[in-house]
Amino acid sequence: MSVMRTSLLSLILSLGLFPGLLAAAVIEDFFRVELPLDEEQDRDQQLRAALDVMLLRLGGPDVLKAQTPLKAALDDPRSLMRRIGSGDDERLEVDFEPALLRDLLGQARLPMLGASRPEVILWAVLPGTLGDELVLQGSEWSNLLRAAAQQRAVALTVPLADLQDRSLVTEAQIREADQDVLLPASERYASEVVLALAIDPQDDGVRLSWTLWVHDKQHTGRVSESSAELAADKLMLNLANLIFAQYAVQPLAPSAEQQTGRWVLVVDNVSDLDAFSGLQRTLQQLSGNTPPQILSIEGSQVRMGLDFPGSESQLERLLVLDQRLLRLPAPVVSQPQVEEPESEPATMDELLAEQAQTEPAAEPEPEPETEPVEPEADTAQQQTLYFRWR
């Protein structure tokens, strides 16, 4: 065991796997926006449209209402862009600068939600020749919904639809959004959010009827659009807004931000490079402009420093999105017991001295009253969280 633990630290050091080099995202290419080229718009209008999509991803549905703090960026979208190009399929591709975007929303004191998102398991049906059919992985509607989910930063996944799924869920139960059936059937996928969707083609377009369960809350809605692409995009935008409302990190007051900006995470059972890489990727999405730092590695325990501009409850909620992190209570530090030496019989001199002390003495003059001083709170313990990697 000691050899394996030592090799983990050696391998990390030899490969240079320090914070910032293992960046990944639950939502791939989170800071890249792709839009179809529109001949009716000039380049500046297209770049502004790309910026709107990016701001909605990171800042939620109300971000574009904050015109005053974002005015300079909205007037000059290029200032936030790292690369502007076009693909082979006549689509505009824009890569944004993450640090500049975080600074922009942070200075405007707006809530943010990065690339780490809860996974949404999709149970969807659409009419077929013999009745409703399950939307399968790789199907036309599955690909269409996945593309819309990528654009709106929704971590969408489609069930396997194998014998286990089909034995637990029927098409009728999906159309009825049967909570008692769909939620237990989704447990095998460890998804935080469950979506039931009924797709119905109409003469003038398509209608999507949906039910979403997130944090024991149920949301329902209906989307009708002239095309399947527009309907899928509007659906995913609605879902992204609901998820943002549940998971976004709210800005703190300046005094609170100074107290809760720096965190130490102690994670046990990080026993190999895959576990360490997974931990790095998770923390990378939660940090601000400063990447997470390795503070120490002792055996299979890793201590990481993290800059996170939120409260403890917000940080824990985002961390447990990664099912591999299990919150642990802070360890109890036991105080060593000091053995008292055995007492020897008192001598005559000691007895006389003790008697003198027991005699009544003159009452001392009363000291002036002073207001009690409360001890300062120990914020170091509050800033350290403990987890186990599983």
Mean pLDDT in residue range 217-238:
97
Mean pLDDT in residue range 251-258:
53
Contact present, 166 and 130 (Cβ < 8 Å): no
Report residue 1's pLDDT band, with 50, 70 and 90 as the boundaries: very low
Q: Which two tokens stand for residue 161?
A: 């639809």
Domain of 75, in residue numbers: 31-107
Residue burial 29-52, b: 16+ Cβ < 10 Å; e: rest:
ebbebbbeeeeeeeeeebbebbbb
Kindly report the backbone phi and psi dihedral angles of residue 338, in degrees, each rounded to the nearest multiple of 5, phi listed first. -100, 120
| DSSP notation for 206-231 | EEEEEEEEETTEEEEEEEEESSHHHH
- Does residue 167 fall inside a structural domain? yes
pLDDT value at residue 378: 42
Kindly report the backbone phi and psi dihedral angles of residue 259, in degrees, each rounded to the nearest multiple of 5, phi listed first. -85, -30
Give yes or no: residues 207 and 97 share one domain. no
Give yes or no: residues 242 and 277 share one domain. no
Angle at 150 between CA 149 and CA 152, to 5 degrees: 65
Mean pLDDT in residue range 367-377:
48
pLDDT value at residue 45: 93
Residue 119 pairs with which residues in a beta bridge? 155
Report residue 284's pLDDT band, with 50, 70 and 90 as the boundaries: confident
Distance CA 212, CA 360 (A): 79
Q: Name the range with the highest mean pLDDT among 1-5, 89-93, 231-235.
A: 231-235
CATH number at residue 135: 3.30.160.100
Q: Which two tokens stand for residue 259?
A: 């107290």
Distance CA 335, CA 342 (A): 21
Q: What is the pLDDT of residues 317-366, one digit of tens each?
A: 888 777 788 899 988 876 666 665 555 555 656 655 665 565 555 555 55
Residue 97 pairs with which residues in a beta bridge? none
pLDDT value at residue 298: 87
**pLDDT higher than 80, residue 48:** yes
Give yes or no: residues 42 and 66 share one domain. yes
Q: Which two tokens stand for residue 254?
A: 């300046």
Give yes or no: residues 258 and 298 share one domain. yes
- Does residue 242 fall inside a structural domain? yes
Q: What is the pLDDT of residues 115-150, one digit of tens each?
A: 888 899 999 999 999 999 999 999 999 999 999 999
pLDDT value at residue 322: 77
Q: What is the pLDDT of residues 152-184, one digit of tens each?
A: 999 999 999 999 999 999 999 999 999 999 999
Tell me the torsion sign for CA atoms 124, 126, 128, 130.
positive
- Does residue 354 fall inside a structural domain? no
Q: Which two tokens stand for residue 229?
A: 């692409």
pLDDT value at residue 54: 96
- Does residue 86 fall inside a structural domain? yes
Distance CA 225, CA 223 (A): 7
- Which of 82, 107, 132 terminates a domain? The answer is 107
Mean pLDDT in residue range 190-204:
93
The end-to-end CA distance of the chain, in Å, is 17
Find the Cα–Cα–Cα–Cα dihedral 242, 312, 280, 388, rounded to 10°: -110
Domain count, the chain: 3
Give yes or no: residues 97 and 131 share one domain. no
Report residue 283's pLDDT band, with 50, 70 and 90 as the boundaries: confident
- Residue % of the chain over a pLDDT of 90: 46
- Does residue 208 fall inside a structural domain? yes
pLDDT value at residue 291: 75
Residue 209 pairs with which residues in a beta bridge? 198, 222
Contact present, 283 and 305 (Cβ < 8 Å): no
Select from 77, 30, 28, 82 the least CA-distant residue to 49. 77
- Which of 196, 216, 247 terminates a domain? The answer is 247
Report residue 24's pLDDT band, with 50, 70 and 90 as the boundaries: very low
Mean pLDDT in residue range 258-270:
78
pLDDT value at residue 345: 58
Distance CA 55, CA 25 (A): 17
Distance CA 66, CA 196 (A): 33
Give yes or no: residues 270 and 289 share one domain. yes
Mean pLDDT in residue range 213-221:
92
pLDDT value at residue 16: 43
Distance CA 148, CA 166 (A): 26
Distance CA 241, CA 234 (A): 11
Give yes or no: residues 208 and 258 share one domain. no
3-state secondary structure of 271: coil
Report residue 228's pLDDT band, with 50, 70 and 90 as the boundaries: very high
Q: Kindly report each contact of residues 175-181 with a partner whose C-beta sits within 8 Å and lies 24 or more positions away, as own/partner.
A: 175/125, 175/132, 177/211, 177/220, 179/213, 179/218
- Does residue 2 fall inside a structural domain? no
pLDDT value at residue 362: 54
- Which of 224, 247, 270 terminates a domain? The answer is 247
Distances (CA, A) of 321 to 24, 259, 282, 334: 15, 24, 9, 33
Determine which of 89-103, 136-150, 241-255, 330-344 has the lowest per-residue pLDDT on average: 330-344
